[in-house]
Chains A and B, each alone.
Chain A
Amino acid sequence: GEKVEQHESTLSVREGDSAVINCTYTDTASSYFPWYKQEAGKSLHFVIDIRSNVDRKQSQRLTVLLDKKAKRFSLHITATQPEDSAIYFCAASMNYNQGKLIFGQGTKLSIKP
């Protein structure tokens, strides 16, 4: 079955710098790739997603890049702020319209003042 690997278990960046979190997946049939943010003691909050028909998507300070050939996708956060500190999960799904999400193990992002 599909496996999603998140390469960085922890990441620490200085406030105002950029952060990049990388994920890889195994199944070429995967077509939908969302990212979720989980703050301490809270549930998952959707932040951004990308579908396999595009290779880049931007929303304000967040950009997702998708490299289908390498089966890799990444979340880029620019001008980081203290409130960006959280655990970020990447996920993959094989269905365009609904379907189970296979999650990576999470990356704990810390923003240092």
Chain B
Amino acid sequence: NAGVIQTPRHKVTGKGQEATLWCEPISGHSAVFWYRQTIVQGLEFLTYFRNQAPIDDSGMPKERFSAQMPNQSHSTLKIQSTQPQDSAVYLCASSLVDQDTQYFGPGTRLLVL
């Protein structure tokens, strides 16, 4: 079992550029969650899919951030016009249907210069 896979592990972008982060959930897991971790804000929920359908995006910044899950094997988080305050570790987690336990990937460390 490879666990949750996130790519890239590190990304550096210039202010105003676009960043796309990828997540491959554990095989058979039907729910995918995105979180963001910073020193100041801690761990924050962003958005969540179940069976590829968006369920809760209450944590997503309304502008510039979007997420998709086009198939059961991957999800993407896209940040348009990146800003320095978007610098964070973006974590993806997955879980089985009707199971609470979320398993986290290694994260993508995004640095916006």
Contacts and interface: CB of A to CB of B under 8 A. Distances in A.
B59 A100 contact: yes
Given A34-B100, A42-B106, A93-B100, A100 B45 contact: yes
Interface of B: 31, 33, 35, 42-45, 48, 50, 56, 58-59, 91, 93, 95, 97-107
A89 interface: yes
Contacts of A44: 43, 91, 93, 104
Given A46-B102, A98-B98, A100-B56, 10 more contacts: A34-B100, A42-B106, A49-B100, A98-B50, A98-B95, A98-B99, A98-B100, A103-B44, A104-B42, A106-B43
A36 B100 contact: no
A32 B101 CA distance: 10
Contacts of A43: 91, 104-107
B25 to A, nearest CB: 13
B34 to A, nearest CB: 10
Contact of A45 (B48, B59, B104, B107): B104
A97 to B, nearest CB: 5
